[in-house]
Amino acid sequence: MNNTHKQLTSSALAIVISAIIISGCAQESKDSAKQSQPQSTSKNQPASKIQSASKTDSSAQAQRIVSSQHVSVSDRNFSLAPTTNDKFESVVQNGNMVAGETPVSTFSIDVDTGSYSTTRRLINQGQLPTKNTVRVEELVNYFSYDYPVPTNTEQPFSVNTELAPSPYNADTQLLRIGLKGFDVAPDKLGASNLVLLLDVSGSMSSADKLPLLKQAMLMLSQQLSAQDKVSIVVYAGASGVVLDGVAGNDFSAIKTALSQLNAQGGTNGSQGIQLAYQLAQKHFIENGSNRVILATDGDFNLGMTDHQQLVDFVASQSKKGIGLSTLGFGLGSGSASYNDHLLEQLSNKANGQYAFIDTLNEARKVLVDQLSATLLTIAHDVKVQIEFNPAVVSEYRLIGYENRLLNRSDFNNDAVDAGEIGAGHTVTALYEIRYNDSHNRLVDPLRYAATESTQIDDAKVHPHTANEVAYLKLRYKAIGEQDSQLITYPINREQQLTHLHQASDDFRFAAAVAGFGQLLNQNNYVHDTDYAKLITLAESAMGQDRFGYRHEFVQMLKTASVLDKQVLMTEPETRWVSQ
């Protein structure tokens, strides 16, 4: 009885601490949201009639309440997970590669941020994400980094690298590759043709869904001008047109149309997408930004439900110059579901980006502060390929980008699709590497393979490569071009910093964020770090942090640490057991 009482007391104390931290974060977000609240305007103008024969009345399913529930640790693979039908794809962790056997790594860039904000949402609800469902690169790329701006627009992004000791394992190094797209002021963006495809099904009734979506769309409309075109398509039991190509500065008409939207019916998203693309084509702007913005809380549960068919459809439309960005709202429960995987895949195949909007601050970040990056693409099909030098590097591991991996031959194949960079975007990739002289190598040398001394002797045939750690290559297509361009950068061992604290704030902060993602995924290759070390590392690398995102991250990291301790107190003997 005494042991049971102690465990219950400890668990209760952890929950209280977690609640205090979460409450503090929520209050900061609430205060900021008040400052960001758009000013109200006239409501006298009528909205356009919805061109729809009927809507399905689904009042029994109109309200969905997301409630925290007690969940056994085994349901999550060692964490407190939601018991809803939300769909988060499980990824297979990148393994440790031997440079002498597989020296080349190839992947597509990724500028999505949805995995970060869904992770934040779960943690603020007192839950940890399910193992292997966090896309680490989306956590890292949620933040902007102070990389050099391109000196001219002939090459749309700059490339820089940094090399320092890794915080994850002893006697290993961390290589950071950073890209920075040239920026464009909002008033220089050019004309945009935007179709807002909005989910108004019954499940969207809660405050963090349709009401937040309306505010987010108002924020977006406030950034537009007379040269822009805005259309609104809604979908539920049936789909209909609410606005048909009004001027972007007609804020009153847009606000009135949004104010009259109500949540009801099922979710026939497939029909809505087809109608949205018809309007996008109708108002197509040559040499402008033509984009459908899909805002929804979940899966398409009526009509066409073949997700691959949907993905193929939006991919085909992107080849016609119409992109798709996806915005997620709320998390599902009961019979409904939030389909994180589908929203990510739709945007990936349609030259767009995926974000999850859980607060008004997040809406402002995506649709106001980063509007140029959201609307204006400056380079298509950006691919990264890096060849590690076996004479210097024994092993390497790409952190994240698991669902963005490409075949080696895909790099030079311009028919293979890859990610896009928007104006002002920063993209970061991290590799953990082990040198040949590392005392912490994971793989023994082969008995019958060429010895390392032979590899080093072979490298001396090309003296300029003897001290190269790796050779970095990037391909991209300029806007309007079908043929890719190649840029290359050698990475020399002279760049290596002796101590982690000598690295830039951006390097150390990105390392802390990536470490957090790996802990959440219970990564098998992280052995020398924990929450306490990552908190210290992140707090030492705040930089200017103009919008407070880095400080918010540290608070989330501390909350996750408390939640993780709850798991340890519940079933300590099963923590970190591989399944």
The tokens 């429960």 sit on which residue? 333
Residue holding tokens 């929520």? 26
SS3 assignment, position 39: coil
Which of the residues in the chain have pLDDT under 50? 1-83, 302, 335, 574-579
- Residue 308 has what pLDDT? 84
pLDDT of residue 563: 95
Q: State how beta strands 173-181 and 239-247 pair.
A: unpaired
DSSP structure class, residue 283: T
Burial of 304 by CB count in 10 Å (0-12 exposed, 13-18 middle, 19+ buried)? middle
Q: How far is C-alpha 19 from the chain's CA centre? A: 26
Q: What is the pLDDT of residue 269?
A: 64
pLDDT in tens, 135-163: 999 999 999 999 999 977 789 999 999 99
The pLDDT value given to residue 562: 96
- 265 phi-psi bin (left φ>0, alpha ψ -120 to 50, beta other): left
Helix (H, G, I), strand (E, B) or coil at 314: helix
pLDDT at 81: 45
DSSP3 helix / strand / coil % (the chain, rounded to 5):
35, 20, 45
| CA distances in angstroms from 13 to 3, 9, 82, 564, listed in the order given | 15, 6, 22, 13
Phi, psi of 104 (to 5 degrees): -110, 135
Question: Residue 33 half-sphere exposure, CB side, CA atoms within 13 Å?
Answer: 17
pLDDT digits (tens, 9 = 90+) for 416-445: 999 999 999 999 999 999 999 999 999 998
76 in Cβ contact with 128 (< 8 Å): yes
CA distance 395 to 243: 56
Give the span between the Cα atoms of 535 and 560, in whole angstroms. 11
- pLDDT (0 to 100) of residue 264: 81
Closest CA to 157 of 428, 359, 415: 428
Residue 45's pLDDT is 40
Which amino acid makes up residue 543?
Answer: G
In Å, how far are 114, 191, 255, 355 from 340, measured between CA atoms? 8, 30, 28, 10
pLDDT at 168: 98
Token readout for 208 is: 């963090």
Distance (Å, whole) CA 525 – CA 255: 50
Strands 377-388 and 419-422 turn out to be: antiparallel
Question: Per the structure block, which two tokens stand in for 477?
Answer: 């297509």
CA 251, CA 168: separation in Å to the nearest integer?
50
Q: Is 77 exposed, middle or buried (0-12, 13-18, 19+ CB in 10 A)?
A: middle
Answer yes or no: are the C-beta atoms of 420 and 382 closer than 8 Å: yes
SS (H, E, C) 348-386: HCCCCCEEEECCHHHHHHHHHHCHHHHHCEEEEEEEEEE
> How far apart (Å, rounded) are the C-alpha atoms in residues 410 and 404?
12
Which sign does the torsion angle of CA 183, 249, 357, 298 carry? negative
